[in-house]
Structure 1
Amino acid sequence: MSNVFESSIVIDGLIIAKWGRDVFEDMRKGGLTAANCTVSVWEGFQGTVDNIAKMKKMVAENADLLTLVRSTDDILESKANNKTGVILGFQNAHAFEDNIGYIEAFWDMGVRVVQLCYNTQNLVGTGCYERDGGLSGFGREVIAEMNRLGMMVDLSHVGSKTSEEAILESKKPVCYSHCAPLGLKEHPRNKSDEELKFIADHGGFIGVTMFPPFLKRGIEATVDDYVEAMDYIINIVGEDCVGFGTDFTQGYDKGFFDWLTHDKGRYRRLTSFGRIKNPEGIETIGETPNLAEAMKRAGWNERKIQKVLGENWLRTFKDVWGS
């Protein structure tokens, strides 16, 4: 690891790996200070509570590697103790069902980031693969409650209109935890220059993904292409509101992707990604230090590297969480 990487707070804005000791060891090998770890996509309330219970059990059983994050102080503590902080996050508000009270229940369990929609329509609004009807009345109540508690609103898989209305509705910064620029690759999941500028102009945050179907060269992409995508966004919004969110799916097989890419996990197919091969140089979580080297190769100074590796995420989390 380089000196700048070793001294930096390193926060991955989204990982949806097959959680287990091997992945946790790789997170430590990769020098992650913290990561937003997905514990809900298509699951309802009960299924999500089950997932959280399993994750907390794993955190306890792997306490030599992990800590649970409820505040930014916990992130700083994980850095001091050479551990990785697990931030509990959802990729869908489906688990809230139609009960505003569930939001605080999940907050009490430790959930700190929730994406409003996953690709399609739910009670809150619309995902990026459907005609977008915007934020619902219930969705406005959900955002108000998330703001009150200090829970990050994530718009990565959310439709353009719903995202715009959510950005305007939220009294606290919102984020795209894992997205890539449409200007480099045409894809329904990617964000246009206008969308990137809009979220930044309203105090929001952008985590850049390396998921190969969203990068310019697809499965031919390298870690340098990933940094190019970051620089593209930084050139639009500046370096203070950009971080990284890999979207690592480490350990999962085709069956998992079939479940993810069908609406509600079981009905119509929404998209097909084909063969998934992470960018050369950052094919596993353990290779995250290579990101700092690629940033150096791209001519980034030390301050810019530190900010994008994690300091920007840390500041934004503090703004949203309140501590």
Structure 2
Amino acid sequence: MNAAELHQDAIVIDGLIIAKWNRELFEDMKKGGLTAANCTVSVWEGFQNTINNIVEANQLMEANSDLVRPVHSVRDISRAKEEGKTGIILGFQNAHAYEDQIGYVEIFKKLGVGIVQMCYNTQNLVGTGCYERDGGLSGFGREIVAEMNRVGVMCDLSHVGSKTSEEVILESKKPVCYSHCLPSGLKEHPRNKSDEELKFIADHGGFVGVTMFAPFLKKGIESTVDDYVEAIEYTVNIAGIDQVGIGTDFTQGHDQQFFEYLTHDKGYARRLTNFGKIINPEGIRTVGEFPNLTAALLKRGFSEQDVRKIMGENWVRILGEVWGE
């Protein structure tokens, strides 16, 4: 089977997309052969504004139901593949929307929120992000992890501090993930994970989605899809072929104002980081170019079976373990 046929046949899952939600994006997802994606609906927003974002997302999915469908279970991912649509998993990049209410975890789960990052770059009630002194998982955070385990929401640790991450990995009774990260063995950055951290999450049954966000890649904005595949291979060599998948962190369609919102604490306070220029790796600049990634993995020497695992099958298995269906 050639690369194009394999891509068309495979389950293709992106573990993190924070692009601008519109029909143009959904059309590009179809072009890219995307089976499902974890789409961010909350970063700095509290409960109310996150609900507003979900209302908007639901209306958009309804209006574009020829292209997308909501995902509440792994069965819905299979259905999306059968229907030739892209399944939309709602995800948070911050537990801030839970506020101080453990009961909100289940409420949001019923609305389709299946993956939640414990904190985004800074401290919240649960723990600490990767851009400040790490106080670890709070007592309340342990209760949130237990509730996420109970109702079937995956704990994401991509932007989380290393101490908090370690404690969530040990606390959680279900697999947790870095939905979108890169190895610091290829480039030192506060958002990248050390070899030890990658091995630790994998050894505890967790999962690593590899991102292609250019500022974290070795060659920065000069990177190509082959540099992205190098990072995937590096991660596979540490975490194992069954524990690794894709989490691009596509920001397609957003303007500078959006990045200002992301890179300031709470969306407006102190500046946490400055990404500079952001250009996705050549060959996978847009979601529509996803087939190039399958081709690049094959070219790198990955077997057809391993490519299927990386492109989506591993995500399906691990989500099934967490969601329980």
Fold agreement, TM-score > 0.5: yes
Q: Tell whether 2:109 aligns with 1:71.
A: no
Question: Distance between the aligned counterparts of 2:104 and 2:236, measured in 1?
Answer: 36
2:93 pairs, out of 91, 102, 107, with 91
SS at match of 1:112: strand
2:216 pairs, out of 214, 217, 229, with 214
**Structure 1 residues 192-211: aligned runs within 5 Å:** 192-211=194-213
Task: Name the residue aligned to 1:116.
Answer: 118
What code does the residue aligned with 1:79 have? K
2:137 pairs, out of 108, 132, 135, with 135
| Deviation of 1:296 (Å) | 1.1
| Deviation of 1:193 (Å) | 0.1
Question: Distance between the aligned counterparts of 1:238 and 1:135, measured in 2?
Answer: 27
Task: Name the residue aligned to 2:150.
Answer: 148
Question: Distance between the aligned counterparts of 1:267 and 1:321, measured in 2?
Answer: 35
**Structure 1 residues 122-271: aligned runs within 5 Å:** 122-271=124-273
State TM-score, norm by structure 2: 0.99
| Deviation of 1:237 (Å) | 1.4
Task: Name the residue aligned to 2:22.
Answer: 20
What code does the residue aligned with 1:27 have? M
Q: Tell whether 2:281 aligns with 1:273.
A: no
Q: Can you list the C-alpha shifts for 1:110-139, whole angstroms capped at 9, x where unaligned?
A: 110000000000000000000000000000
Q: Can you list the C-alpha shifts for 1:243-294, whole angstroms capped at 9, x where unaligned?
A: 0000000000100000000000010000000000000000000000000010
SS at match of 1:2: helix
Q: Can you list the C-alpha shifts for 1:195-233, whole angstroms capped at 9, x where unaligned?
A: 000000000000000000110000000000000000001
1:50 pairs, out of 49, 52, 63, with 52
What code does the residue aligned with 2:222 have? E
What code does the residue aligned with 1:12 have? D
| Deviation of 1:108 (Å) | 1.2
Identical amino acids, percent of aligned pairs: 69
What code does the residue aligned with 2:318 have? T
SS at match of 2:14: strand
Question: Distance between the aligned counterparts of 2:46 and 2:37, measured in 1?
Answer: 23
Q: Structure 2: where are the runs of 5+ without partners?
A: none
What code does the residue aligned with 2:65 have? A
2:10 pairs, out of 8, 11, 15, with 8
| Deviation of 1:43 (Å) | 0.2
| Deviation of 1:28 (Å) | 0.6
Question: Distance between the aligned counterparts of 2:282 and 2:111, measured in 1?
Answer: 37
What code does the residue aligned with 1:32 have? L
Question: Distance between the aligned counterparts of 2:270 and 2:58, measured in 1?
Answer: 32
| Deviation of 1:157 (Å) | 0.2
Task: Name the residue aligned to 1:290.
Answer: 292
Question: Distance between the aligned counterparts of 2:202 and 2:43, measured in 1?
Answer: 26
| Deviation of 1:179 (Å) | 0.2
- Cα RMSD of the aligned pairs, angstroms, is 0.5
Question: Distance between the aligned counterparts of 1:300 and 1:153, measured in 2?
Answer: 29
SS at match of 1:122: coil
The list of structure 1 runs, each at least 4 consecutive aligned residues, that deviate by more than 4 angstroms after superposition, is none
Question: Distance between the aligned counterparts of 1:298 and 1:145, measured in 2?
Answer: 41
Question: Distance between the aligned counterparts of 2:209 and 2:109, measured in 1?
Answer: 22
Q: Can you list the C-alpha shifts for 1:117-169, whole angstroms capped at 9, x where unaligned?
A: 00000000000000000000000000000000010000000000000000000
Question: Distance between the aligned counterparts of 2:104 and 2:83, measured in 1?
Answer: 33
What code does the residue aligned with 1:134 have? G
Q: Structure 1: where are the runs of 5+ without partners?
A: none
Task: Name the residue aligned to 1:319.
Answer: 321
What code does the residue aligned with 1:83 have? K
What code does the residue aligned with 2:100 have? D
| Deviation of 1:3 (Å) | 1.1
Q: How many residues align?
A: 323
Q: Can you list the C-alpha shifts for 1:14-51, whole angstroms capped at 9, x where unaligned?
A: 00001000011001111000000000000000000000
